[in-house]
Structure 1
Amino acid sequence: MMSRRQGFQLAGAAGLAAMGGMLGGCASGGGAAGGSSGTAAPSTVRTPVGFAVPPGACDCHVHVFPDPTAFPFWSGRAYTPPVATADDLLALQRALHMDRVVIVQPSVYGTDNRATLDGMRQLGPLRARGVAVIGEQTGAAELDAMHAAGIRGIRVNLETGGVTDPAAAGRLLDAAVARIQGRLWHLQIYARLTLIEALRARLAALPMPVVFDHFAGAQAAQGVEQPGFASVLELVRAGRAYVKVSGAYRASSEAPDYPRVAALARALIAANPERIVWGSDWPHPDSVPVAGRGATDIAPPMPIDDGRVLNLLAEWAPDAGLRHRILVDNPARLYDF
């Protein structure tokens, strides 16, 4: 069984890291996975986009997984994704009519942000920004270099680390805040609703923007009355937090249109349309353990149709002006485009 320290290490790789000491020195270890780096990832856009995507639109949550011989995975990872390069991401951007993108450091690289930074470099500063994972070994000079490269936040992934105790989560958040204090960065958090509710007052008082991943961990089957969702709405309404309406399949198993997710999305948008951003979660890595599949075996991505998922935004926000805020204005402000 994975120890608590190992669990924190895995979570830190996706964003828990800013927490001094939790990742130790495991940032860059790990061998390469199999797979051909020269083969383009298959398109995830099978349904054409059915509405006019405004110029400057941004996909605020993607990952890149380049050639693992050049960018080795972390030895403590929980899964191994197939290759998905910056070129593949650019093809996705064009298919979705997106002009901007935010690359989020995934757990499989630990605190070694080179793959994320290289993806941003390939796409260029007019198109790409990033969210990093840092550890106690990440110094001020490295943070400065990350900012110059386009990093605009760090991720704290409490959910992947199995952190459910509010006291422990609060200590980790405090450490993260201390690491980026004074920088024009935000704190991206993936946590369950019960934690957000328990930490609501602390989150509301943070000196930097807070961004909640994937519908703030809400589950569509439980509706808008589920415990903790009101706290998220309160933070959003007060302008103290952003929410990514991303990864609908993480909030619901009702593929392909996730009908009950609509109530969550509409409630969040109604609370404060200035604090909502959209993300595809491409290339949809599947980190769920599967019997007989080891951490170094390639895990196929989830079979998501990104065109169909983007079309859901037009149902959640039928007004073109609302969509402009979600796709253009809010990301430009949050990620400094």
Structure 2
Amino acid sequence: MMTRREGLFLAGALSVAAHGRAGNAATAMAPTVQTPVAFTPPPGSCDCHTHVFPDPARFPFWSGRAYTPPIATADHLLALQKAMGLDRVVIVQPSVYGTDNSATLDGMRQLGPKRARGVAVIGADTTPQVLDSMHAAGIRGIRVNLETGGVTDPAAAGRILDDALARIQGRPWHLQVYARLPLVAALQERLSALPMPVVFDHFAGAQAAQGVEQPGFAAVLGLVKAGRAYVKISGAYRASSEAPDYPAVAPLARALVAANPERIVWGTDWPHPDSATLAGRKPTDIAPPMPVDDGRVLNLLAEWVPDEAARRAILVDNPARLYDF
């Protein structure tokens, strides 16, 4: 449970972001733990999906990005961890940096190897030597973001996956995929045969309003049940607009856990960047973060997974196995 001191620490850290040297780039930041965590996460609990967006003067954004997030540093992430009673975190390379993983690696370095692991995005010019250095720094997988890239054709997606697989072949890493359910279903056989774990972001792209019978969700459940894929029950606001408790997301979460609790991990998606394309907002304009109460979202996990042993697997054991803590 978040103490008053930790709550003040989090609010203060985020206030620094709003008034620090980055200026207007961080004015949208606000405390994201508004509801105290109602249970005690077990030691070693991990938030498996976060990002960091440090000072762009030091870590410039990619010119081809679709949006520009507010500042969210490793210090702010550490404050979030302490406020929520979490010991470990996975920093995922966001699309706004392209294949330059410097900001992600710096965030991992600041938090240290006992707390942080990472997931990178690589390109054709990423050498084996760079991959070796990433592994030494704590990278344990690469992200293939088909959704943000607008890839919906199974043949094109298959070529991208094959290329990614070839680049990390022989490494003890995983392939993290963000894609729509119909695409996952079309690639189910190929994904099932991969020689490394597959991890799906954000409920595997399922939309809560369409329920557990929506096309493609059965393919995800099949991969999870067979132990061929992990799913992050993260970013509930991406699956449903029914904030703050996202009631229609609960059946998705419970179905995934029932399929195989040893293949489910949890994450906040902090700091909740709004990557949507909006009329009148340019990619270089600061996009305010989504208004998410991270304390309340962690409390939802206890409702979705009331069994303490299963919850421990999701928060501690599965991330330790997947990310090599």
TM-score, with structure 2 as normaliser: 0.92
Structure 1 or 2: more helix by fraction: 2
Is the Cα contact below 8 Å between 2:29 and 2:288 reproduced in 1?
no
Could you tell me which runs of 5 or more consecutive residues in structure 2 were left unpaired when the two chains were aligned: 1-20
- Give me the whole-angstrom Cα distance separating, in 1, the residues matched to 2:155 and 2:129: 31
How has the CA–CA distance of structure 1 residues 40 and 117 changed in structure 2, closer, same or farther, with 3 Å as cutoff? Answer: farther
Aligned match of 1:190: 178
Q: Determine which of 210, 215, 237 is the counterpart of 2:198.
A: 210
Q: Determine which of 79, 85, 104 is the counterpart of 2:73.
A: 85
Query: Which letter maps to 2:162?
Result: D
Aligned match of 1:52: 40
Alignment of 1:176-325 (within 5 A): 176-325=164-313
3-state SS, counterpart of residue 260 of structure 1: helix
How has the CA–CA distance of structure 1 residues 40 and 227 changed in structure 2, closer, same or farther, with 3 Å as cutoff? Answer: closer
- Aligned CA RMSD, in angstroms, stands at 1.4
- Give me the whole-angstrom Cα distance separating, in 1, the residues matched to 2:219 and 2:280: 40
Quote how far apart the aligned CAs of 1:36 are. Answer: 5.6
- Give me the whole-angstrom Cα distance separating, in 2, the residues matched to 1:120 and 1:190: 22
Is the Cα contact below 8 Å between 1:49 and 1:307 reproduced in 2?
yes
Is the Cα contact below 8 Å between 2:203 and 2:233 reproduced in 1?
yes
Aligned residues: 305
3-state SS, counterpart of residue 247 of structure 2: coil
Aligned match of 2:13: none
Aligned match of 1:19: none
How has the CA–CA distance of structure 1 residues 287 and 280 changed in structure 2, closer, same or farther, with 3 Å as cutoff? Answer: same
3-state SS, counterpart of residue 163 of structure 2: helix
- Give me the whole-angstrom Cα distance separating, in 2, the residues matched to 1:60 and 1:306: 14
Quote how far apart the aligned CAs of 1:321 are. Answer: 0.8
- Structure 1 runs, 4 residues or longer, greater than 2 Å off: 33-42
Quote how far apart the aligned CAs of 1:39 are. Answer: 8.2
Q: Determine which of 158, 162, 178 is the counterpart of 1:174.
A: 162
- Give me the whole-angstrom Cα distance separating, in 1, the residues matched to 2:220 and 2:78: 33
- Give me the whole-angstrom Cα distance separating, in 2, the residues matched to 1:159 and 1:302: 19
Alignment of 1:6-45 (within 5 A): 35=23, 41-45=29-33
Q: Determine which of 138, 145, 161 is the counterpart of 2:126.
A: 138
- Give me the whole-angstrom Cα distance separating, in 1, the residues matched to 2:23 and 2:50: 20
Could you tell me which runs of 5 or more consecutive residues in structure 1 were left unpaired when the two chains were aligned: 1-32
- Give me the whole-angstrom Cα distance separating, in 1, the residues matched to 2:93 and 2:185: 26
Quote how far apart the aligned CAs of 1:272 are. Answer: 0.2
Quote how far apart the aligned CAs of 1:58 are. Answer: 0.1
Name the stretch that deviates more: 40-49 or 213-222: 40-49
